[in-house]
A and B are shown apart, each in its own frame.
Chain A
Amino acid sequence: DAMVIQNPRYQVTQFGKPVTLSCSQTLNHNVMYWYQQKSSQAPKLLFHYYDKDFNNEADTPDNFQSRRPNTSFCFLDIRSPGLGDAAMYLCATSSLGTSGGRKYFGPGTRLTVT
């Protein structure tokens, strides 16, 4: 089945050690999103790609970067993780080039920072 895949499901990293989270999709959607969800909070949009066009939210820290080498893959790079970056990171794709398109979410990667 077509889907959104996130690897790994659980990631442990050390304080200050760079970490990369991966998202892939078999849906051929042109929009991909990264969200950060802390415990008992709503998912917060970090950035999104429309094709190769990168769109950063104004309040996304510089510590967070993203790459989209092709339609299928999108990566979230955290350059120097702090304890406050421990969260669930959700990737999503959208079926249309507008925000009205249905969003398909991956299962998430839970990041622990020690």
Chain B
Amino acid sequence: AQSVTQPDIHITVSEGASLELRCNYSYGATPYLFWYVQSPGQGLQLLLKYFSGDTLVQGIKGFEAEFKRSQSSFNLRKPSVHWSDAAEYFCAVGVDTGNQFYFGTGTSLTVIP
């Protein structure tokens, strides 16, 4: 069965520091991969997605993610974190056979001044 793992439940970084959030998936083929952000009490906002082609994808708010097939990973990165980036981040996988769409367990990001 397919699964999405985000190993880090909670991460704290200083404002201006770089950020990397990890995501690993388990699926027989290359799935569709997404990163979403959710601020407290808010809905889910799409940051970026990977379908095929260039393995480094650019998203909104200065985020990027790199798909590594050999590691079954799709890690999210940002070179310089802003205080407004504090939120919950979810990696998600789309499975083509059946339209299923699954979320990882989420990583909570705290940004300190």
Question: Which A residues contact B (CB, under 8 angstroms)?
Answer: 31, 33, 35, 40-45, 48, 50, 55, 57, 90, 92, 94, 97-103, 105-108
- Using a CB–CB cutoff of 8 Å, the interface residues on chain B facing chain A are 31-32, 34, 42-44, 46, 49, 51, 90, 94-96, 98-106, 108
Measured CA separation A48–B108 after assembly (Å): 27
| A42-B104, A42-B105, A43-B90 as given contacts; A99 in contact with B43, CB under 8 Å | no
Task: Say whether chain B's binding surface is mostly helix, strand, loop, or mixed.
Answer: strand
Residues of A within 8 A of B90 (CB): 42-43
Closest residue on chain B to residue A49 by CB atoms: B99
B96 contacts A102, C-beta separation under 8 Å: no
Contact of B32 among A35, A40, A100 (CB under 8 A): A100
Contact present for A33 and B104 (CB under 8 Å): no
**Residues A97 and B99 in contact, CB atoms below 8 Å apart:** yes
Instruction: Tally inter-chain residue pairs, CB-CB below 8 A.
Output: 63
**22 residue pairs A–B, Cβ–Cβ below 8 Å:** A35-B103, A40-B108, A41-B106, A42-B103, A43-B90, A45-B100, A45-B101, A50-B99, A55-B99, A90-B43, A94-B99, A98-B94, A98-B96, A99-B95, A99-B96, A100-B32, A100-B94, A102-B46, A103-B34, A105-B44, A107-B42, A108-B43
Which of chain A's residues have a CB closer than 8 A to the CB of B105?
41-42
Q: How far is the CB of A97 from chain B (nearest CB, A)?
A: 7
In the complex, the answer to whether A45 meets B102 with C-beta atoms within 8 Å is yes
Shortest A92–chain B CB gap in Å is 8
A41 to B100 alpha-carbon distance, docked (Å):
19
Q: Are B95 and A107 in contact (CB under 8 A)?
A: no
Q: Give the CA-CA distance A99 to B94 in the complex, in Å.
A: 5
Please give the distance in Å from B34's CB to the nearest CB on chain A. Answer: 8
- Nearest chain A CB to B93's CB is how many angstroms away? 8
Q: How far apart are the CA atoms of A92 and B103 in the complex, in Å?
A: 13
Q: Which residues of B contact A48 (CB under 8 A)?
A: 99-101
Given contacts A42-B104, A55-B98, contact A100 B44 (CB under 8 A): no
Residue of A nearest to B108 (CB): A40
